[in-house]
Amino acid sequence: MDLRLEGRTAVVTGASRGIGLATVRRLTAEGVRVAAAARTAPPELTGIPGSTAVPVDLTTAEGPAELISRATVALGGIDILVNNLGGVRKGITHDESFTAIGDAEWQRALELNLLSAVRTTRAALPGIVERRGVIINVSSIGARFAHPPVEYGAAKAALNNVSKALAEELGPRGVRVVTVSPGPTRTRNWEAPDSMAADLAREAGLGLDEFLAALPERMGITTGRLAEPEETAALIAFLASPHAANITGTDHRVDGGVLKTV
């Protein structure tokens, strides 16, 4: 399918790996010029034709405005904003107590998973409105799924709420806003030796490979496997395209059927 994205421009945050990197690759393959934001720019990112790496820390108060300023100069304007930056802290366990999670952990989760998207969107909004663009916020099934770490799920639930409110406010001005909510996905958060999954594997007394092999059954993943980053990237590209012109205010899950509610 031709997504009719040729010549459009996009900003993708958290672009150095996982879903963000896959999204940069997918959008550039569709002819989109992309400003790819990450704290560091690995060779996998800098070598993508059609993309410009923008090293920036979006958890700082000034980082988002800096990103949008540099991206606007590089691209000449922004049609698509993909707020993908996010992540979980290390050292979580299934049985951790709510009272053990301090202010620093809450603040870090909110800066990374909510406020970075809020600030980036706020900075990009004048240009997005002018070009009647699209905002896609990458959330998580953690927003609807009671699973540690609780501060991560709370931040993502807030992101969903912000997205819905923005869709209502900006719809009459020609701007669409949606969320995409991945479930367990083959990214560093699940496969690296210092990942969240590795923490949970150690808690269970299992090796990481053994833990991941048993994960689909333990989590009730209907498809029997973890998602691939490219699958979420393909959905993001479709939602950014004119084919999705009447889709706004919605949340789209890529979870293999983990969530069983209607």
Which amino acid makes up residue 252?
H
Packing angle of the helix pair 116-130, 63-75 (nearest 10 deg) = 30
The b/e string for 103-130 (b: 16+ C-beta within 10 A; e otherwise) is: eebeebbbbbbbbbbbbbbebbbebbee
Spatial CA neighbour of 89 closest among 150, 144, 169: 150
The verdict on whether 152 is a catalytic residue reads: yes
The active-site residue, picked from 109, 116, 152, 187, is: 152
Helix, strand, coil shares, percent, the chain, to 5: 50, 15, 35
How far from 77 is each of 46, 62, 80, 138, 173, CA to CA, in Å?
Answer: 21, 20, 10, 21, 17
Tell me the CB-side half-sphere exposure of residue 214, using CA atoms within 13 A.
11
Cis peptide before 49 (omega within 30 of 0): no
What one-character-per-residue DSSP string does 217-242 give? HHHT-TTSSPBPHHHHHHHHHHHHSG
| Torsion sign across C-alpha atoms 249, 9, 186, 148 | negative
Active site (catalytic) residues: 152
